[in-house]
Structures are given as C-alpha cells and as structure tokens.
Structure 1
Amino acid sequence: MPYVTISTVRGILDAAQKKTLLERVTDLLVEVEGQGSPDFRRNVWVRIEEQEPSHWSLGGMQPTAEIIASTFGPIGTDGVRIARR
C-alpha cells in the first residue's frame, strides 16, 4: 500500500492542477508498483501538502504570495487560476 506525499508552496497549484497531479501519480503507481492491476488502485494514497510561502526558501530567497501570483497567476476563491490578461 503506497503512500505518496507531494510538498509544494501554497498558491502554485490550482484545483484543476491538483486533481490532475493526484490522478497521474496514482496512475503511475498502479502501472509501476501495481503492475497494471486495476485492483491495486484502491490501495494507493496520494496527498498534496501545501505550506505557506514563508516556510520555503530557494537559493536563500523566500517567495511571497505576490511573487507566486506574478509568476503563475493568482488563484481565485473558487480554487481556479485566474487567466492573465
């Protein structure tokens, strides 16, 4: 029974991206560890763990919500990324 945790900065993935990531990681584990058995799918646990930007550092720089929004686009209250103009 595999357990996978994906850690990321809050605000980078929108709801659709999370759904896709969860589905594709599950599919990969079924293919590789479960050797393609559809019954194996019910044993796969995948979790996305999001942490505040202030809990991360890349090259000594802490991202801010503004940096994330300017790079990836903001996420609306409905969990969907707002298209850039």
Structure 2
Amino acid sequence: MPYITISTVRGILDAAQKKTLLERVTDLMVEVEGQGSPEFRRNVWVRIEEQEPSHWSLGGMQPTPEIIAGTFGLIGPDGVRIAKPKM
C-alpha cells in the first residue's frame, strides 16, 4: 500500500490543479506498482502537504505571498484561481 506525499508552497496550486495531481499520481502508481490492476487503486494514498511560503527557501530567498501571486496568480478562499499572473 503506497503512501505518497507531495510537498509544496501554499498558494501555488489551485483546487483544480490539486485534484488533477492527486488523480494522475494515483494513476501512475496503479500503472507502475499495481501493474495496471484496477483493484490496486483503492490502496493508493496520495497527500498534498502545503506549507507557508516562509517555511521554504529557493537559492537562499524566501518567497512571499506577493511573489507567489505574481508568478502563479491569486487563489480565492474557495481554492479556485481568481487571477492569472501578468506576463
């Protein structure tokens, strides 16, 4: 029974992206570890763990919610992306 944990910065993935990620990782585990058996699906646990931006560092720099929103777009309280990033 696999347990997969995906760690990410809060504010990068919206609800639809999380749903897609959970489904596709599950599909991949069924294909690889479960050798394609549909019965294996019910044994696959996938979790997305989100931490505050202040808990992360990339190249020695901590992202801020403003940097994340400017890069990925804003996410509303319902988990739906409400604004796309300006390119």
Name 2:68's counterpart in structure 1: 68
Secondary structure, counterpart of 2:83 in structure 1: coil
TM-score (norm 2): 0.95
Residue type at the aligned position of 1:67: I
Deviations 1:40-72 (A, max 9, x none): 000000000000000000000000000000000
CA distance in 1, matches of 2:32, 2:7: 22
Letter in 1 for 2:37: S
Q: Residue 24 of structure 1 aligns with which residue?
A: 24
Runs of 4+ in 1 over 4 A off after TM superposition: none
Unaligned runs of 5+ in 1: none
**Secondary structure at the counterpart of residue 57 of structure 2:** coil
The residue that corresponds to 1:81 in the other structure is: 81
| Structure 2 segments unaligned to the other structure (5+ residues) | none
Question: Could you say which residue in structure 2 is the equivalent of 1:59?
Answer: 59
Q: Which moved more, 1:73-82 or 1:47-56?
A: 73-82
- Is residue 2:24 matched to residue 1:44? no
Count of aligned pairs between the two proteins:
85
Matched, 1:33 2:33: yes
TM superposition shift of 1:30: 0.1
Residue deviations 1:10-51, cap 9 Å, x none? Answer: 000000000000000000000000000000000000000000
| Greater share of residues in strand | 2
